[in-house]
């Protein structure tokens, strides 16, 4: 295992062979490209990604421990393939469209000003998470735990209360229609 600590890495296009068997601890990545590479078994601990592209990368057993993604493209990622042990991250101003968090326990996750179009949250535990000013068009919530989850400023979601666990889940008056879609009613 190669151990890289406290590094600032800028404007780098990574190749799979450069990251295989690597643990990054407390590193900052600025404008780096990880697009479509194999990040399997790579460990990112307390790292920050700014303006990076990780779209379509393979995440088999990848570890994200206290990782921040800011202004990143994270399209088509299968986060459910990650190492589930101590999996924690937050997303600000990111495009996470077409990604999957299937069956993950990611309590207290912050999604701030993110595009989450057609994201799979099936069987996910999102308790105490926040979707602050996020677009959830086509996102799928089914058998999802949404206890104390905050959707007050989220938009375009459809959540069926009969097939998801809602308790103290927060919505605004303006976005309640997403809870009633299955009834095919008109709200004016």
The band of 184, judged by pLDDT with boundaries at 50, 70 and 90, is confident
8-state DSSP, 47 = -
- Percent of residues, the chain, with pLDDT higher than 90: 90
Q: Examine the pLDDT at 80 and tell me if it is beyond 90.
A: yes
Interatomic CA distance for residues 186 and 45, integer angstroms = 47
Q: Examine the pLDDT at 82 and tell me if it is beyond 90.
A: yes
| pLDDT tens, position by position, 112-126 | 999 999 999 999 999
Q: Domain ranges in the chain?
A: 1-99, 101-188
1-99 is classed CATH 3.40.50.300 = no
101-188 CATH fold: Pectate Lyase C-like (2.160.20)
Task: Check for a shared fold between 1-99 and 101-188.
Answer: yes
3-class DSSP string for 105-150: ECCCCEEECCECCCCECCCCECCCCEEECCECCCCECCCCECCCCE
pTM beyond 0.75: the answer is yes
Q: Examine the pLDDT at 30 and tell me if it is beyond 90.
A: yes
**How much is the mean pLDDT over the chain?**
96
What b/e sequence results for 117-143 when a residue is b if at least 16 CB atoms lie within 10 Å of its CB, and e otherwise? bbbbbbbbbbbebbbeebbbeebbbee
Q: Examine the pLDDT at 180 and tell me if it is beyond 90.
A: no
Interatomic CA distance for residues 163 and 183, integer angstroms = 14
**Contact present, 70 and 49 (Cβ < 8 Å):** yes
């Amino acid at each position: 295992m190669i151990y890289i600590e406290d590094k600032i890495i800028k404007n780098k296009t990574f190749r799979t062979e450069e990251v295989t068997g690597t643990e990054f601890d407390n590193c900052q990545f600025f404008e780096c490209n990880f697009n479509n590479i194999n990040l399997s078994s790579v460990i990112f601990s307390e790292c920050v990604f700014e303006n990076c592209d990780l779209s379509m990368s393979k995440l088999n057993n990848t570890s994200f421990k206290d990782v921040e993604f800011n202004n990143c493209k994270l399209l088509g990622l299968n986060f459910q393939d990650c190492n589930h042990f101590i999996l924690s991250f937050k997303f600000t101003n990111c495009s996470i469209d077409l990604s999957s968090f299937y069956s993950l326990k990611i309590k207290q996750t912050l999604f701030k000003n993110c595009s989450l179009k057609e994201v799979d949250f099936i069987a996910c535990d999102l308790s105490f998470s926040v979707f602050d000013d996020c677009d959830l068009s086509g996102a799928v919530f089914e058998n999802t735990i949404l206890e104390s989850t905050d959707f007050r400023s989220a938009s375009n979601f459809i959540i069926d209360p009969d097939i998801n666990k809602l308790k103290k889940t927060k919505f605004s008056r303006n976005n309640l229609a997403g809870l009633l879609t299955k009834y095919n009613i008109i709200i004016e």
